[in-house]
Homo-oligomer: A and B are copies of this chain.
Amino acid sequence: MKWQDVGGMTCSVARSLSLIGDRWTLLVIRNAFLGTRRFDDFHASLGMTRHVLADRLDRLVTAGVLRKEAYQERPTRYEYRLTEMGRDLYPVLLALTGWGDKWLDEGRGAPLVYQHMTCGHMTKPMMVCSECREPVNPREMTVMAGPGLAVNQS
């Protein structure tokens, strides 16, 4: 299977990765969550080539994860903002953050810490069951065919 075909797999992980599984793309999205909006600011903080950055931003706009908005005329300049679809990637970023904080902190602790303004506490976001709100682990989950499963595909 070629990578281009992965998005066609009947699997939400595969479909998600076909859009955002490129190695730079999630760093672009991370920056968008941290408030970066302008091409030059993405470029300055990520240091990828302008060509690769432009390509990734365009793809994210096409996919609907970012929207491109003019913030100045003559010359027209654009900024990139997360759409609702893009903001919905927050759990993906938090999950990657939590894993890196735990396993890849080189013994120094988390680079960034989070406060949940709604309740006021310092927080370590976690993935829980929507019904009982207890943390989920793979040994306590049963996976079943859902309505979107195409029988003849992996």
Contacts and interface: CB of A to CB of B under 8 A. Distances in A.
Identify which of A10, A103, A137 gathers the most chain B CB atoms within 10 Å of its CB: A103
Q: How many copies of this chain does one complex carry? A: 2
Main SS of chain A's interface residues?
mixed
Interface size class of A (residues with CB under 8 A): 35 or more
Given A16-B100, A102-B88, A140 B128 contact: no
B1 A13 contact: no
A97 B132 CA distance: 19
B104 A96 contact: no
A148 B105 contact: yes
Interface stretch (A54-62, A73-81, A119-127): A119-127
Contacts of A27: 6, 13-14, 17
A90 B116 CA distance: 23
